[in-house]
Amino acid sequence: MAVIKQLRVALKSRPGALAELCTELARRAVNINAIQASESAPDTIRLVATPLDVAKQVCDAMKLEHREETAIAAHLADRPGSLGRLTRKLAEKGINIEYVYGSIGKSAQRALVVIGVTDVEAAARILK
């Protein structure tokens, strides 16, 4: 578990908008480790990208409004109950989860889960 930085990017909901951003990130050798998009907030995406400073430069060059956010990143075993145990620890300490997204590769042993919480520092202490 770690405290991470991610980008929240305002991206117009139109065909090709995400493709353009991803193409520009790739041109600058930025890797997208995780991404979240939602139909409830179609003009906003979250990215965990490396290197983050280059991803911000790409957004600046494309004139995309963006901001850096902190979140929790956990690598969880790919088995039933892993996410439940982690989220239960936060709930027992009164920490609200605002959003969560994740990814896992076919042959990976662990999933990457990004969790936005009301108190990142407290969550980091709890989940050590």
Q: What's residue 46's pLDDT?
A: 96
pLDDT 10s digits, 8-37: 999 998 899 999 999 999 999 999 999 998
With a cut of 80, say whether residue 108 has pLDDT above it: no
Q: Are 10 and 41 in contact (CB under 8 A)?
A: no
With a cut of 90, say whether residue 111 has pLDDT above it: no
Domain boundary among 46, 68, 90: 68
With a cut of 90, say whether residue 112 has pLDDT above it: no
64 shares its domain with 14: yes
61 shares its domain with 76: no
CA distances from 109 to 9, 78, 79, 106 (A): 30, 6, 9, 9
Q: What's residue 32's pLDDT?
A: 92
55 shares its domain with 83: no
76 shares its domain with 63: no
pLDDT 10s digits, 37-84: 888 887 999 999 999 999 999 999 999 999 999 999 999 988 899 999
pTM: 0.83
Token pair 């139109």 in the structure block, residue: 14
Distance (Å, whole) CA 38 – CA 29: 25
**List of E strands, the chain:** 2-10, 31-38, 41-50, 66-77, 97-103, 110-117
Q: How many domains does the chain have?
A: 2
Distance (Å, whole) CA 26 – CA 47: 13
Q: What's residue 80's pLDDT?
A: 92
Q: What's residue 38's pLDDT?
A: 84
| Residue span of the structural domain in which 21 resides | 2-68
